[in-house]
Structure 1
């Protein structure tokens, strides 16, 4: 299935449908990364949905002299058709993604960015129509505070300590929309798609029945067993 992004007709399945499928497949935490929200083009609104393979970036404190350094800027290395996934140390309040990065990412063909941390230049992001998902915003840039280490290594996101951490490998699939962000392990994509197709068909039947006047109890018993 081709990677895609849209603000008109959403591709693939909704993040909630994917999470339900991953729950059925017994993936810990259903691949859900809580507390990361859509900030651009709109805040938690609209039909924006991104679906594509992850390009992973691990940020470390600028003071870290032990971690390897990337031989190029991580934005310049974005593969076309990918979703940029950035893990930021939780104790830092600076942004790791801004308007200039979005400008370059769009030229590189990125589908969007998911940041386990902070972003800035919201108006620039929105004017560009670029899908940005993040935990929070900041006024401060990355330079004095953080840097990228080796690219496309497994990264872990756990913005909420009460939910299982999610490890993202390069090439895992990201589904993100106004409801949130879900990670599909790349080897489960076909199973997730099949489960989503099955469950959304049942949901369509439930919706039609409820709109016709049936109760939740009757509808669920009839179609969901």
Structure 2
């Protein structure tokens, strides 16, 4: 269980800082989910930063009659203060998140949504100011193509061929901004905060030295070791 001090401190660190910290701590994937980008409120821009515990949703093809079905719509089940993380089956053309879902998610107190797949109603998302991260967009709704299956069970985001797959467990912490998305295992939160403090302090020294005209290689050697 994360202490309040960790959950208050970590939002001030960017996704890049957190990924660097996880890599230093021996996390082979650095918690990085590649190929998913910020679409709303702006496309890969602005100061949007999402930080909070994951609420996970596994989507399956609508034709799948064997996988479990949730007792309620997955959006109605969103816990307040969580980041919705959705795994969509590969190579589907439809969206699994749209404007009406955002309206309900905001009322439920969601912090944002991460979709390993497609979204739609982009202008509605932006008008709502809701943080939405996804691989791509679509004009097709979910109904005929996909449905929700398990909620708050581990989900694995579709891997890039050159990067390890990342599994998200309910309660893991998500850091997401214009640069990308990082998943922090919930039992590593304190370690990540400590490492972020150390590495960002070194980077601040590097920046000051470089602006003063120092050589990059010498600066890195001096402050990063």
Partner of 2:48: 48
Superposition pairs of residues 25-44 of structure 1, within 5 angstroms? 25-44=25-44
CA distance in 1, matches of 2:11, 2:98: 26
Shift of the alpha carbon at 1:91? 1.9
Structure 2 residue 18 is matched with structure 1 residue 18: yes
Deviation at 1:3, TM superposition (A): 5.9
The CA deviation at 1:197 is 0.5
Paired residue secondary structure (2:45): coil
Instruction: Figure out how many residues of one structure are paired with residues of the other and give that number.
Output: 220
Please report the TM-score for the alignment, with normalisation by the length of structure 2: 0.95
For residue 174 of structure 2, what is the aligned residue in structure 1?
174
TM-score, normalised to structure 1, is 0.95
Runs of at least 5 residues in structure 1 that lack an aligned partner in the other structure: 5-9
Name structure 2 gaps, 5 residues minimum.
none
Aligned twin of 2:207: 207
Q: Which runs of 4+ in 1 moved over 4 A?
A: none
Q: CA RMSD in A?
A: 1.3
Aligned in 2, Cα 1:159/1:39: closer, same or farther, shift over 3 Å? Answer: farther
Deviation at 1:224, TM superposition (A): 1.2
Question: In the TM superposition, what whole-angstrom CA distance separates every residue of 1:101-136 from its partner, at most 9, and x where no partner exists?
Answer: 000000000000000000000000000000000000
Task: Note if contact 1:3-1:53 (Cα within 8 Å) is conserved in structure 2.
Answer: no
Partner residue, 1:149? 149
Contact map agreement 1:206 1:220 (CA 8 A) in 2: yes
> Equivalent residue for 2:93?
93
Q: Distance in 1 between matches of 2:95 and 2:31?
A: 25
Deviation by residue 1:4-45 (Cα, 9 ceiling, x = unmatched)? 8xxxxx933100000001101111211000000000000000
Q: Is the 8 A contact 1:39 1:133 kept in 2?
A: yes
